[in-house]
Amino acid sequence: MRRREFITLVGGAAAGWPLAARAEEPMIRVGALMVFAETDPESKHVADAFERGLDEAGWHKGRNLELTYRWGASNPDLLSRYAEELVRAAPDILLAFGNTGTDSSA
């Protein structure tokens, strides 16, 4: 192998290494059932704080984290349907934010 071909081969492998390492990083799937309406100002605040905490812990959306929200808008029927949908999707972690989403009478 000629020197130029060798340098090109090594350089290409080194350039692709971070991508290959990232591809092996585990992807965690998180489902979040939110009692708020997506348009509620509180919902953006809660979601941003949640995502910021995940980011600080090393979990980054699109890289090693798949984050799915469902917004129930305080509607018990909608919350129930979304809860079932999230359970069927079988995420690694399932969270409920808000009282109505965690109240057993809802």
Angstrom distance (rounded) from CA 51 to CA 61: 8
Q: Which domains are present in the chain? A: 26-102 (3.40.50.2300)
pLDDT digits (tens, 9 = 90+) for 47-60: 999 999 999 999 99
C-alpha distances in Å from residue 40, one per residue of 19, 30, 31, 74: 38, 21, 19, 11
| pLDDT at residue number 99 | 78
pTM of the predicted protein model: 0.69
| pLDDT at residue number 42 | 86
pLDDT digits (tens, 9 = 90+) for 7-45: 555 455 445 545 555 557 789 999 999 999 999 988 899
Residue 80 has pLDDT above 70, yes or no: yes
The two counts, helices (H) then strands (E), for the chain are 4, 3
Residue 70 has pLDDT above 90, yes or no: yes
Q: How many CA atoms lie within 13 A of 51 on its CB side?
A: 14
Angstrom distance (rounded) from CA 85 to CA 43: 20
- The alpha-carbon radius of gyration of the chain (Å, integer) is 21
